Amino acid sequence: MLLAGDVGGTKTRLAVFDPQKGPRAPLFDSTFPSAGYPSLEALVAGFLAGIDVPVERASLGVPGPVVDGRAEITNLPWVVDEEQMRQTLGLDSVSLLNDLVATAYAIPFLEPGDLYTLNEGRRDRRGVIAVIAPGTGLGEGFLTWDGDRYQPHPSEGGHASFGPTSDIEVGLLRYLMERFGHVSYERVASGLGLPNIYDYLKESGYAEEPSWLAERLAGARDRAPVIVEAAFDRERPCELCAATLDLFVSILGNEAANLALKVLATGGVYLAGGIPPRILPALTTGRFLRAFLSKGRFADLMARIPLHVVLHPAVALLGAAYHGFQQG
């Protein structure tokens, strides 16, 4: 039996798979609040204690770079080591992989119902595939064809420096530089970034913050979902939240294009992570695609790149399972 996991800064999803049934039919599947546990070992041990089948090996996608079987988890005070976890949990093997690498493993196996296409393009069947995933943070990765199958590769491109493309984005950069010094794309194109954009627009006087929204935000542990919900609220329209989401979409489109250019993603760009399916109406207005195509002399090349939103609700878990089966 294989234990597969999608470890996130907010939540961790674990599942047990039977190789005979495959990665789309977990025997056990549970989600846990990551911050509620002192370590990943403690979280996994609690999950395994509640199931009644023996598990021999684990394949776990984790946020952050994995070097020599060891990872410091981004946005959590966890350090995870493959060998230490193997011994602690009594497993035959433990494999750690970057969460975007886990997502990338699933991309070649996604079915039409798992995707929403923003740009059909003209796919190169053996071309490089890019993956960008805004969730709690901003993950990026890519896949290359090795002559037999696609092989995923990690990246920490979400921590590259944010490059503004408009006057309002220049103002956002200056505002965030005063707060953080270095401003990465993760600061503006992730669940962490949405409140940063909102604060900038509010403090710059773009629009007034409604009193009802101020109360909701004050009581929210995570302000990003509140901002997104208010942006889509037709009964109580919030200009400030709508503008926040518009700016977020433009920045995300620009960074997706940056990644596509850097790896020459003629095989397509896939938007994964928890945020894109939740903001799909905002991604389909044309704003995202305009930002993606706005690359000057390379606009024609960008128009040929297929662009998809991943709708599968557990794509990183699915990819971790595929990786585990391949390793087995």
Q: Are 321 and 5 in contact (CB under 8 A)?
A: no
CA 200 → CA 29, 34, 107, 218, 219, distances in Å?
A: 39, 29, 35, 17, 20
Tell me, what's the pLDDT at 136? Answer: 84
Yes or no: say if 100 and 56 are a contact pair by the CB < 8 Å rule.
no
Please list, in sequence order, all residues whose beta carbon lies within 8 angstroms of the beta carbon of residue 148, skipping any fewer than 6 positions away: none
Burial letters 97-107, b for 16+ CB under 10 A, else e: bbbbbbbbbbb
In the sheet that holds 129-134, the strands lie side by side as 115-119, 307-310, 268-271, 129-134, 138-145, 150-155
Does pTM top 0.75 for this prediction? yes
Query: Of all helices (H) and strands (E), which one includes residue 309?
Result: strand 307-310
pLDDT, block means (10 residues), the chain with 328 residues: 91 94 93 94 95 94 91 88 95 94 95 96 96 92 95 92 97 98 97 97 96 95 96 94 98 98 98 96 97 96 98 94 89
Residues in CB range of 38: below 8 A, 6 or more apart: none
Q: Which domains are assigned to the chain?
A: 2-105+314-327 (3.30.420.40), 112-311 (3.40.367.20)
The separation between the first and the last C-alpha atoms of the chain, rounded to the nearest angstrom, is 10
Query: Residue 63's pLDDT is what?
Result: 84
pLDDT number for residue 92 = 95
